[in-house]
Amino acid sequence: MAEQTLPNINKNICVLCGLCVDECPENVLALNHNDLIFENPQACTYCGTCEEVCSEGAVRLEYEIRWA
């Protein structure tokens, strides 16, 4: 199975506040031993909630914009 794209987390910026964990509607993320991990990556719908709630700009769902 092809690896699916997940949000990009910059761990140099992430302050482990856990807001993205709390707000993710699919419970994809978790805080584990002072690390932010993808606990259920297959459930990620790329909805962007984690990026939206992150106050530090540590979570990025990037898009390439191009003509079909």
Partner 1 sequence: MSNPLDQLWLLHGMSENVIQAFNQYARRKNFKTGEAIIWQGDPCEAVFFVLSGEVEIYRLSSGGREQILDRTPTGGCFNLIPALLESGANQANVRTLTDCELLAIAKPDFQKLLVDFPKFTLSVTRFFAERLAHMADLIETLSLYSVRQKLARFLMDQADKVRKEKATRWTQTDIARRLGTVREVLGRALRKLEEEGIVQIDREKILLLDREKLERASFGDE
Q: How far is the CB of 58 from partner 1 (least distance, A)?
A: 8
Q: Which of 1, 12, 33, 34 binds partner 1 (CB under 8 A)?
A: 12
The SS3 of residue 29 is strand
SS3 56: coil
Query: What are the backbone angles phi and psi of residue 60, rounded to the nearest 5°?
Result: -130, 125
Residue 31 has which token pair?
Answer: 């805080």
Binding to partner 1 by CB under 8 A, coded x per residue (else -) over 45-64, reads -x-x--xx----xx-xxxxx
Contact residues for partner 1 (CB under 8 A)?
Answer: 4-5, 10, 12-13, 46, 48, 51-52, 57-58, 60-68
